[in-house]
Amino acid sequence: MKITLLITFLLCFCFGVYAQSGVSFKSTDAALQTAFARAKEMAISYKGKPADPVGPWYESALPPRSAFCMRDVAHQSIGGEILGLSSENKNMFRHFVNNISESKDWCSYWEISHLGKPAVEDYRNDKEFWYNLDANFDILNASWQLYLWTGDQEYIKDAAFELFHEKSVTDYIDRWVLQADSLLKRPTHPNAPVPFNDKDSFHRCRGLPSYSEGVPNIKMGVDLVGAIYRGLMSYAAILEVKGQYAKAKQFKEKAAGYQKSIDALWWNDSVSRYNTFYSNDHKFGMDEGGTFLLWFNALKEGERKEKTIQHLLSKNWNVENLSYFPLIMYQNGQADKGCGYLLHLTDPLTARREYPEVSFGVIKGFTEGLMGIEADARLDQITTLYRGKTTTTCELKDLPVLMTSLTVKHEGNTATTLTNNGQKKILWQAKFLDDKGKIISKKAVWIKPGSSVRAKRFS
């Protein structure tokens, strides 16, 4: 009996240590530290069960469905890497890219269940299913971002990924009539089942031209224009890694056409905002969608972008939209607002904060937003730029990135220390903000395994 109790105690102890392992965050701001801990605990709770037929996965859809959908996974994937869910990411992305098919007009499965099957809530057969057309470009861009963060070349060079990416920027665009000069003239349902039943969502939403799902009679969403732009730019970057510079140039030029159309066609001077959808009765309108223009970094710097940010800040949005806000606000000069969203989205009183995207978005907001950590596998380089309060110390410990583990400690805006806990050297460029908010870039230095380097704002 004593031996049994001892074994039970050791197992519980080891499990408790394991459950608390991985990336951690410390700060002299207790509220921030609590927010990170809450987000981490909630995000990890969505990890799938080892025996699930689909393989490694985490919840990234409406929680009762036990499933993962393309938009949510694209958004949650870097947060997943930060939390050590790399196997889950790889498996889910493989499911998406492996299931693209001509019979579905080069769509994949919008949502896949823990059973490894297309979710019944969104799929009946290859002719009748729900699909938001942004998805292919979002997954393409997320694959590129995962490569930059991890250095895992499968995301850009594996045959299945290559096929998905290539089809998404060619045949998919053609099949769904998504050329830059066709966006406002295209048929609303270019690949509709025959006979077509407008009351059947698997007919009506088989190729929904937006992530905004509540707009009736929609022909095109500005978020889809932004998604195509970013997808083409990411594809061009992938081609450059492969040395295909001439082809990359062609796709950059195509991408520029979509970005140009956003300003030429979608800006509404009367209210100083972008229209977000175009209807079948040839009228522009405004609903959701502005968030994705920033998420896909589809807007040029300037007054229009700033007004888009201010509009987003002026409205109450659902948590799906808000889950993008911490990173967006930190990256666009709204650090106080970014911090506010980190705290709001982890507040137990916030309605629907348990939606999986929220906790993963918070983790991403902490890491890439507040701590300003960016990775570039092409150079084995990490850059850091603290965006928090000047008197607050923040430390992100045991961060998995670029196939190693790092600890980043910001002493307010005065100094940053990077510790390489892993087995490979990393190139590090420290950045700081000056008193006017301009970026000070320090010389990049190599950090050997097991060593630490401290950079000062003034040195």
Let me know how long the chain is: 459
Whether residue 9 is predicted with pLDDT greater than 70 in this model: the reply is no
What pLDDT does 459 receive?
76
Q: How many CB atoms are closer than 10 A to CB 437?
A: 8
Give the residue-averaged pLDDT of 77-102. 98
The model's confidence at residue 21, banded by pLDDT at 50, 70 and 90, is confident
Q: For the residues 13-33, what does the mean pLDDT come to?
A: 73
What is the C-alpha to C-alpha distance for residues 137 and 291, in angstroms, rounded to an integer? 16
pLDDT class of 8 with cuts at 50, 70, 90: very low
* Residue type present at position 253: E
pLDDT in tens, 295-330: 999 999 999 999 999 999 999 999 999 999 999 999
Query: Could you report the per-residue pLDDT of 270-285, keeping only the tens digit for each?
Result: 999 999 999 999 999 9
Between the alpha carbon of residue 190 and those of residues 93, 109, 194, 420, the distances in Å are: 27, 18, 11, 52
Domains and CATH numbers, the chain: 26-369 (1.50.10.10), 371-459 (2.60.420.10)
pLDDT for the residue numbered 4: 37
- Segment 254-270, tens digit of pLDDT: 999 999 999 999 999 99
Cα 149 to chain centroid distance, Å, stands at 12
Mean pLDDT over 229-242 rounds to 98
Tokens of 202: 């698997």
Mean pLDDT of 407-433: 97
Is it the case that residue 449 has pLDDT exceeding 70? Answer: yes
| Whether the predicted pLDDT of 130 surpasses 60 | yes
Query: Residue 196 — left, alpha, or beta (φ > 0 → left; ψ -120 to 50 → alpha)?
Result: beta
How confident is the model at residue 64, as a pLDDT? Answer: 84
Q: Give the pLDDT confidence score for residue 63 in this predicted structure.
A: 84
* Per-residue pLDDT at 2: 38
Report in angstroms the alpha-carbon separations of 340 from 337, 343, 363: 5, 5, 14
Instruction: Kindly tell me the burial class for residue 196, based on how many C-beta atoms sit within 10 Å of its own C-beta (0-12, 13-18, 19 or more).
Output: exposed
Answer whether residue 418 shows pLDDT above 90. Answer: yes
End-to-end CA distance of the chain: 63
- The torsion defined by the Cα of 92, 97, 98 and 100, in degrees rounded to 10, comes to 130
- Residue 232 binned pLDDT confidence (cut-offs 50, 70, 90): very high
Query: In degrees rounded to 5, what are phi and psi of residue 415?
Result: -155, 150
φ, ψ for residue 318 (rounded to 5)?
-70, 165
Residue 228 clears pLDDT 60, i.e. is over it? yes
Task: Report pLDDT for 424.
Answer: 96
84 or 459: whose pLDDT is higher? 84
Mean pLDDT taken over the chain: 94
pLDDT digits (tens, 9 = 90+) for 194-214: 999 999 999 999 999 999 998
* CB contact at 8 A, 274 and 222: yes
**pLDDT tens across 35-78, in order?**
999 999 999 999 999 999 999 999 999 888 999 999 999 999 99
What pLDDT is recorded for position 368?
A: 98
137-153: average pLDDT: 98
Percent of the chain with pLDDT over 70: 96
Q: Is the pTM of this model over 0.85?
A: yes
Phi, psi dihedral angles at 52 (to 5 degrees):
-60, 130
Tokens of 116: 């490894």
CA 18, 20, 23, 26: dihedral to nearest 10 degrees?
-150
d(CA 284, CA 265): 10
Structure tokens at 65: 């469905």
Residue 172, pLDDT above cutoff 70: yes
pLDDT 10s digits, 346-386: 999 999 999 999 999 999 999 999 999 999 999 999 999 99
